[in-house]
Structure 1
Amino acid sequence: MWLRSANSITEKNMKKLILLAGLCSSSLLAASAQGQQELHFLHWWTSTGEVQSANLVKTELAKHQIKVVDVPVRGGGGTPAKSILQARAIAGNPPELAQIEGPAIKAWATLGFLHPLTSLAKDQQWEETLYPFVRSIQQYNGDYYAIPVTVHRLNWMWVNHNKLAEYQQTVPQTWEQLITVFNALKQKGVMPLAIGNEPWQVGQLFENIAFSIGGQAFYQKAFIELDADALSSPSTYEALSKFRQISNIIGDKLIEQRWDQASQSLLRGDSVFQISGDWVAGELMSTTGEFPDSISCYPTPSKTASFLYNIDSFAFFNSAQLSETEALKVAGILSSKQFLHDFNLKKGSIPTRKDIELTGYNQCAVKSQQDLQQAIQTGNVMPSIVDSMAVSPLIQKAALNELFRFFNDPTVTSDDVILHLQNVSKTGIAF
C-alpha cells in the first residue's frame, strides 16, 4: 500500500492509511508510556556499505537511550522511499526521522511538516562551517529545516587498474579515449562498464557526459532551466552522440542490476570501469575492510576541474511522538563533528562541514575534498539532476525517461530527446 504515489491514493485506501496511522500512533504512545523512547528512521540505504553506515545512526542514538526503528526502502535511487514518505505524511503517520534530498526539503517545510532547526544551526555556527551550496539547500524562508550529512561526488570514474593493465589499456583522459578503450575491451570479450539498466544509473552516465562537455553554465541552462536554445546547442548534440556511442558498445550486454551489484562486478574484474558516485567507495570498503588496492578513482573526463554533487540530509517530521525540543536534541547528536566524521568515513562521502579533518579517509575522499575546493573557486560546482538535487521530481522523471529510452532504443534520435525536453520546459513545472 505504501508503495503507491501520494497522487494515486484512492479514497478507500486513504481511509485505510489513516486507520493504520492511528494504530501505529497508539502503539508508539504505548511504548512511550513504558519509558522506551523510539524514533522511526525512513531511508533508502540498503546496500551492504550503506547499511553499515546507517547502523551508525542506531549506535550513536543508542548511547543517548534512543531506540531507532529502522525503515529501509530498497530501489530506484530512493524513488520508492520518497513515495512511502509522501503516503505516510498524508496519512498523518510520518516517520520521526527521514533521509531527504535537495528541493524536497523546501517543499516539506513549505507544507509545515518539518521541525525547524535554526537554533541548532546558530549554536553550531552553520553559517561559518558549512559550504555555501550546502547551507542554501537546507533552508526555507531563512530557517534551517534539515541536517546536511554527506557531500557525495557523482563525477567519478572507478577503474579496476589490474584488469586495465591486463588488457594492455591505459586510463583515458577524454571521452573519445574512453570510448576507444571501451571498444577495445569489448573486442576482447570484456564488459567495459559496470552499470545496471535502470533509468537513474543510465541517466547518471549521461549527466557525467553532458556536465563534462559543456561545463557549469551550459548544464545549468540546458538541464536545470531547460532553456530551449541551450538544449538544441552543439554541446547537447555532442553529449547525446557520446551517450549513443557507449550504448552501442554495451547495450547488448546490459542487464538489470543494482548499482552495488555493478560495484561488485568492478571489484571482481568482470567489468573494468564504473561511472558513479563515491558511494561506490563505501560499498567497496564494506566488502574488503578497506579501500581495495585493485581499484583507482579518477574524475570523469572534463575540460575543467568540476564537481557534480548530491547531499543527503536528515529531516525531523512533526508528529505526536516527537516535539520540537526532542527533535533539536536528536539533531544535535546527529550533526556533531564526530558523528559526521565517522559517518562519511564509512559512507565514502565527505563531510558537509569545512572544519572536519579527513583523518583515516580513503584517498578518493581526500581527492574529492581537494577538487571541491578548487571547483568552488572556479564556479564549477553543480547539483545533480539525477539524484534529486536540482529540479522538480516531475522534470527529473521526464528527463530520465527520455534518456533511458534513447539509450535503449537506437531508433530514438537526438532531435527526439531535445524536442521532448523542450516541451517539458513549456509546461512550467516547478516547485
Structure 2
Amino acid sequence: MSNKTTRLALALACAFGAAAGAHAQANRAEVLHWWTSGGESAAVKELASAYTAAGGTWVDAAIAGGEQARSEAVNRMVGGKPPTAAQFNTSKQFLDLIDQGMLNNVDAVAAKNNWDKILPAPILSSIRIKGHFYAVPVDIHMPAWFWYSKAAFAKAGIAAEPKTPDEFFADLDKLKAAGLVPLAFGGQPWQEKVTFYAWLAHVGGPDMYMKLYRDKDAAMVMTPQFKALLTSFKRLHNYVDAGSPNRNWNDATAMVISGKAGVQIMGDWAKGEFATAHQTAGKEFGCFPGFGPRSPYLVAGDVFVFPKITDPAQVKSQQLLATVFTSPATQVAFSNKKGSIPIRTDVDVKSLDLCAQQGVTIMKDISRQLPTPEMLISPDLEGSLQDVITKFWNTNESADDAAKAIAAALKNG
C-alpha cells in the first residue's frame, strides 16, 4: 500500500471513528437516581431497557437515599460535570435550579406528546414552571396506602379491612394480642413525616390537610381538633416494635411480606417489594388506600430533570430520555415493577395488579386527589415541619407543645 493510500485509509478510518463516536455520544445518558431496593432496581431496569431499545446507551448512576442523590446531582451541576438526567420528587425541590438557569426544558417533547392533555393536573402544575416543562414525570405514587399480610390478619382473627380509624386501632390490638408486630415501621425522619401526613389526610380529612400545607393556617393548628389529630397519630407509636428506629422502609415492608408484622403505612412503591418476593395482591397481601369509599388519594411521584448542557449530543440524549420515559409501553412496564400507576391517562392498564387498578380508578375522580406537601410548601418549611414531627414521635412531647412548634414553623416559613 502506498503512503498516499495509507494516509487516505487512516483519514477515512479516523473520520468513521469520529462519526461512530459522535453517534454513541449522542445516545449516551448518565442517569442519576436513588432506586436501590429490590423492587426499585427491577423497575429502573425497565427504563434502561426501553432507552437501550430506542438506540441509547444507559449509564447507571445509583446513589442510595433521596437526599444524598439530590445533593450529588446539585454538586455535580455546580461543579460543571452534571449527569444527563437526575431524579427528583414531583415537588418544589428543583425550583431553585430553574431560577438559577441550571436546567434544560423539554418543551419540544411535551408538545409533541400532548402532555397538557394526558397528564393529571397535580403533575402538570409541578413540572410546568413559568410556561416551560423542566421535568419529565415517570410515575404517580400514592404515599398513604395501607399494606397488610393476609396471613397475619388471619392469625389475628381479622376478617375484613378496617373502614374507620377506630376499627384500625382495634385491628392493631388484635395483631398485638396474636404476638405479631402490629405496625411495621421504619423510624427515619422521612418515614415519620409520610406517616404523619398520611394520617392527617385520612383522619383529619382533606380540609384540615389543606389548611396546614396549602394555607399555612397557624390558628387551625392550635384548635382542639388538630391537637386530637396529633394525639391519635402519636397513638400509632404504641404498635411499632423496639427495632423500628433507623429501619429502612423496605425492611419494614419485608416484615409484612414474611407475616411477622400486620400492617405498613407506606407509599405504593412498597408494592414493588411484594412483587420481587413473588407475592400477589389479593392473595398473600392486601391493600386499601384509606378509610371508607371516599378516602383522599395523595398524588406524589418521581421526575427526572435535565441539567443545563449545551453539547448537542447530550441535549439529544435528554430529549430521547424524556420521550422514552413517557411512552405508553414503558409506563406500563415500569409501573408493574415499581408499584406505581402510569402518569398517562391514555394507556391500557389491564395488566396492572388490583391495587394499581384501584388507584387508576380513584385518579379518575379529581375530587379525591390531594397534592403531597412537597408540592405545596418549600423544602425549607418541609424540613422544619419534619423536624417537629420527628421530635414529637420520638419523645414525650405533648400534643399541645407539638402544635405550638408547628404553628411557629408555619409563621417562620
Q: What is the TM-score when the length of structure 1 is the normalising length? A: 0.85
Q: 1:313 maps to what in 2? A: 303
Partner amino acid for 1:115? N
Name which of structure 1's ranges 245-254 and 58-67 shifts more when overlaid on structure 2: 245-254
Aligned equivalents of 1:32 and 1:394: distance in 2? 44
Match of 1:93 in 2: 81
Q: Once the two structures are superposed, what CA deviation does each residue of 1:146-175 show, in whole Å capped at 9, x if it has no partner?
A: 111101112211111222111112432211
Is the contact made by 1:158 and 1:297 (CA closer than 8 Å) also made in structure 2?
Answer: yes
Aligned to 1:154: 143
Displacement of 1:104 after TM fit? Answer: 2.3
Higher deviation after alignment, 171-180 or 363-372 = 171-180
Cα distance per residue 1:71-122 (max 9 Å; x no partner): 11113xx111112122112212221111122112433222212211112111
| AA aligned opposite 1:86 | V
C-alpha separation between the residues in 2 aligned to 1:307 and 1:335? Answer: 22
**Which residue in 1 is equivalent to 2:342?**
351
Alpha-carbon distance, 1:291 to partner: 4.3
Q: Per-residue deviation at 1:384?
A: 2.0
Q: Which of 374, 394, 410 matches 1:408? A: 394
- Name the structure 2 match of 1:82: 70
Residues 112-135 of structure 1, C-alpha deviation per residue, up to 9 Å, x if partnerless?
A: 122111121111111211112211
Amino acid paired to 1:393 = P
Corresponding residue for residue 340 of structure 1: 331
Q: Which residue of 1 aligns with 2:12?
A: none
The question of 1:180 aligning with 2:166 is answered: no
1:331 is aligned to: 322
1:164-195 deviation per Cα after TM superposition (whole angstroms, max 9, x unaligned): 11111243221122122222322332110111
Q: TM-score normalized by structure 2?
A: 0.89
Distance 1:299 1:312, change over 3 A: same
Query: For the structure 1 residues 251 and 303, does the alpha-carbon distance in structure 2 shift closer, same or farther, using more than 3 Å as the test?
Result: farther
Aligned pairs, number: 391
User: Which shows bigger deviation, 310-319 or 359-368?
Assistant: 310-319
Q: Which of 230, 243, 254 lines up with 2:244 in the alignment? A: 254
Whichever residue aligns with residue 421 of structure 1, its letter is I
| Contact 2:172-2:182 at 8 Å conserved across structures | yes
Deviations 1:277-304 (A, max 9, x none): 1111111101217547210111222583
Question: Which residue is equivalent to 1:16?
Answer: none
Contact in 1 for aligned 2:299/2:370 (Cα 8 Å):
yes
Q: Any idea what the Cα deviations from partners look like across 1:32-81, whole Å, max 9, x if unmatched? A: 56945421111111110000111122212222332222111113xx1111
Of 100, 111, 129 in structure 2, the residue corresponding to residue 140 of structure 1 is: 129
Q: Secondary structure at 2:158's aligned position in 1? A: coil
Structure 1 residues 68 and 414: CA distance shift in structure 2, 3 A: same
Gaps of 5+ in 2: 1-17
Q: Distance in 2 between matches of 1:106 and 1:152?
A: 21
Secondary structure of the residue aligned to 2:403 is helix
Question: Does residue 121 in structure 1 map to residue 110 in structure 2?
Answer: yes
Instruction: Work out which of the two has the higher radius of gyration on C-alpha atoms and give 1 or 2.
Output: 2
CA deviation map 1:4-25 (0-9, x unaligned) = xxxxxxxxxxxxxxxxxxxxxx
CA contact (8 A) 1:158 1:298 kept: yes
Counterpart secondary structure, 1:389: helix
Which residue is 2:410 aligned to?
Answer: 425
What's 1:393 paired with? 379
Consecutive unaligned residues of structure 1, counting only runs of 5 or more, are: 1-28
**1:41 and 1:325, CA in 2 relative to 1: closer, same or farther beyond 3 A?**
closer
Does residue 362 of structure 2 align to residue 371 of structure 1? yes
| Letter in structure 1 aligned against 2:355 | C
Does the 8 A contact of 1:284 with 1:292 survive in 2?
no
Structure 1 pair 235–70 and aligned structure 2 pair: CA distance change class (3 A): farther
Task: Give the residue type in structure 2 aligned to 1:426.
Answer: K
In 1, Cα distance between equivalents of 2:218 and 2:32: 38
DSSP 3-state at the match of 1:327 = helix
Residue 44 (str. 1) matches residue 34 (str. 2): yes
What RMSD in Å do the two structures reach over aligned CA positions? 2.2
Q: Which one-letter code corresponds to 1:408 in the other structure?
A: N
Write the mapping of 1:261-280 to structure 2, written as runs, cut at 5 A.
Answer: 261-280=251-270
